[in-house]
A and B are shown apart, each in its own frame.
Chain A
């Protein structure tokens, strides 16, 4: 008996070990292709859908993976809006007509030229299949599109849209008319043709079960030179260890994962870039249900929550207390003057006392006043997903000291979403991103909608059409102040975000101004893989250093030589001017060193 077991065990082990050795040996050696691998997420969380414009999962990473294949009219880099499929544009005085001058060299991956017809077709197709583009599309603002010539197109809006360049021109992916005109149901179109775009990458492979995307460079890209040959986004079971073992070349961390980031800080093989997460965690109040329907009551609760403690204990200082007006401090819309509620239990107690919530039975919990809608001790249910349990527990402890009893109820998001939509809740902890774009403030307590304020609604509508940036900023400031004063939500914190990468593989990672497209906080911007024309020294930025680089290239000088000493003879005099002239004329100059 024992012998059999022993033999079996030895057999198993040898199979296991030989499998590993043979697998390694048999794998075909990687070619000299330059490949970048990114951690797309953890198991079950790295699949973002088939990257066609209608089938990606409507979340930031899904859009980002689609955007590698499909271009928009404009795009954004680290500083702001830049040309993409459109080289230039202008808008009429009333803000309703946008003219775009298209790039003449852009081609679809199948070689066909990109023209104004494709632009017109795209917007009309989106309008005809309204449910299809699940990402924010706002094509409902568009009246019609006119083709002036093959490379000029005019978009007519019914009302001015202040954020047109970012939310529409910088968001809606252009579709090839010759492919999509025959597609009646875009949600089920998943052929190879569905991912033909003008983008810098082509899709090689996608697997939903393992959440793996493989792209190859489109070396004929019209807007720059590709720095890599292949890009892979894949699932890893632990991001930090995957980066450590070299399974991937780049990983992003955020919030409480600051502890993982710190382990990489002392490691010379990796570099770290910090960026704004444009994300906020908040408590949502049911403004239609007593007693949370009383603004002062909500303010008392705000005074009673210690946000600094939450940031230090839960996030380990991997974040900061949030703007009570929601918009992120690193975005251009941030209003620093929103009412803040410094943690102060005395003020909280005062307010609650003055509202008539007194502890009449001496059990430490305040009671509802006589004749109120509810009676007995003040008790609420605070709903949260498992992820924010610790925040919920800290809030529970904080509110207990001011005499309010909270029951923390953990549930899955589907359940909570159901309660929020049917206004069947007291308080919920939830969060969302996109807080670099005022569009996010349309319904401040989304997906609930218990906050009713007509002044808020009209201010929001006004900023949507306000073309003057300063006036628009003023309006968005007012929105933030209303949220901070009325507290339909009490914001808790903004987490920080980092990307850690191996600079020897790719070191151009950056964070886009106010997020990619409409406000995605990711570092996965297609520009990371490009040396854009104009970026002569290929460092990812376009500035005067590139002009200097071009001058050096013309003068055939290396990067260290003083450019004034053009003939490199150690002296700076008129002979250098002559040298420059001769070089430009193409006559081999004689060097006198």
Chain B
């Protein structure tokens, strides 16, 4: 009974979110053909009213809104996300083409900043009050507080231009051919270093602080005093008791932020010309590309709901005190 209730609950939430995803873009003034008159630094086509009507008809934008809503919902059930008006390609194709780069960037930087943040936070908490702690606290917080795009630009100027060690844009060298598959992998890694570093520096502050606080809380617990009394070594206490227990909030936080990170990378994507989802979403909003917007919102919804679910599951595994009803 409980399970069915939960399912109905999730289904209702999904329906509401999908409906909001449909109506929200249409609330904005302008329409998917507005970009055609955009005063860019080039020449836009002068569209006659007659041609505009023809295009609206072609894209189904002249139908009543209820009809558009129904075909949108039906489309999702069939897995058909529609055709992007601006990019002139199936929405799914456009999104997937960009998604892989975002996942690579977000995945790499998360895989680095989380363990690093944990280590540093634990070290700080363990050495609380001493110079090491204060030093770490001040330095990590100050560099992490810089806006990500500012950090990105600094890295571009210093490592990309002045020292010429890393490429400053793109995810890979365009049209290059390699003598072995490793060549391509290394090229991608080469392009990944600067943007990933930027993200790591930006996000490590949060993880570090949370770990430090969580650790401090744990270290004040009675069972730590018990462990010491038992005569266990400091290292053992740190790793086996303190660290593991302090990890719990990090798990939830990481799972939650991964869902949001997909959009949060937009600044880094812009600075490094990294072709990810953040940039795509920004453009889709600017161009009022309704089908594309709906598709991206769907992916984000799935990502966040999925992250939520994973966080729940992992938390239960890690903390036997939480019973699953």
Contacts and interface: CB of A to CB of B under 8 A. Distances in A.
Nearest to A185: B58
- Would you call the interface of chain A mostly helix, strand, loop, or mixed? mixed
A413 B40 CA distance: 10
Nearest to A430: B39
A190 B93 CA distance: 13
A585 interface: no
A254 B40 CA distance: 12
A242 B167 CA distance: 10
Given A8-B116, A209-B97, A440-B46, A16 B55 contact: no
A417 to B, nearest CB: 4
B322 interface: no
Interface in B10-64: 28-31, 34-47, 51, 54-55, 57-58
B227 interface: no
B29 A5 contact: no
A325 interface: no
Interface string A509-543: 00000010011111000000000000000000000
Most buried by A among B30, B173, B187: B30
Nearest to B38: A413
A210 B36 contact: no
B295 to A, nearest CB: 15
A134 B51 contact: yes
A43 B119 contact: no
Contacts of A414: 28-31, 34-35, 286-288
A272 interface: no
Contacts, number: 216
A134 B45 contact: yes
A417 B37 contact: yes
B28 A136 contact: no
Interface string B231-250: 00000001000000000000
B123 A214 contact: no
Nearest to B175: A214
Interface in B165-209: 165-166, 168-171, 173-180, 182-183, 186-187, 189-190, 193
Interface string A41-53: 0111001011000
A431 interface: yes
A430 B51 CA distance: 22
Given A19-B189, A417-B30, A521-B42, A1 B94 contact: no
Nearest to A515: B43
Contacts of B165: 17, 20
Given A27-B183, A134-B47, A187-B58, A59 B40 contact: yes
Given A43-B270, A412-B286, A414-B31, A136 B176 contact: no
Interface string B276-313: 00010011011110000000000000000000000000
Interface string A244-273: 010000000011000000000000000000
A22 B183 contact: yes
Given A1-B119, A26-B178, A519 B43 contact: yes
Contact of A210 (B28, B30, B41, B170): B170
Contact of B97 (A23, A208, A412, A522): A208
A178 interface: no
B156 interface: yes
A60 interface: yes
Given A12-B112, A19-B193, A20-B190, A433 B44 contact: yes
A241 interface: yes
Interface string A187-225: 110100000000000001101111010100000000000
A451 B307 CA distance: 55
Contacts of A356: none
B256 interface: no
A419 interface: yes
Given A43-B279, A44-B279, A212 B46 contact: no
A214 B175 CA distance: 8
Interface stretch (A82-90, A231-239, A340-348): A231-239
Contacts of A5: 116, 119-120, 123
Interface stretch (B1-9, B66-74, B81-89, B218-226): B81-89
Given A58-B44, A134-B47, A209-B98, A15 B189 contact: yes
Nearest to B159: A16
Interface in A2-35: 2, 4-5, 8, 12, 15-20, 22-23, 26-28
A398 to B, nearest CB: 21
Nearest to B89: A208
B97 to A, nearest CB: 5
A43 B273 contact: yes
A55 interface: yes
A210 B40 CA distance: 19
Contacts of B177: 27-28
A12 B174 CA distance: 25
Given A208-B94, A208-B97, A245-B161, A59 B87 contact: no
A391 to B, nearest CB: 12
Nearest to A516: B43
Given A19-B186, A433-B43, A44 B29 contact: no
A17 B287 CA distance: 40
A254 B42 CA distance: 10
Nearest to A282: B39
A42 B277 CA distance: 17
Contacts of B116: 5, 8
Given A55-B88, A209-B98, A521 B169 contact: no
B54 A131 contact: yes
Nearest to B152: A237
A419 B28 CA distance: 11
User: 9 closest A-B pairs (Cβ-Cβ)?
Assistant: A414-B30, A26-B183, A418-B29, A131-B54, A433-B43, A58-B45, A43-B273, A417-B34, A60-B43
Given A18-B186, A19-B186, A27-B178, 13 more contacts: A23-B190, A42-B273, A43-B270, A43-B275, A44-B270, A55-B88, A58-B47, A60-B44, A212-B174, A212-B175, A236-B169, A413-B30, A433-B42
27 contacts: A2-B123, A5-B120, A8-B116, A19-B189, A20-B190, A27-B173, A43-B273, A49-B88, A59-B40, A59-B45, A134-B45, A134-B47, A136-B45, A136-B46, A208-B87, A209-B98, A245-B161, A245-B164, A255-B41, A385-B39, A412-B285, A414-B34, A418-B29, A430-B39, A433-B43, A446-B46, A447-B37
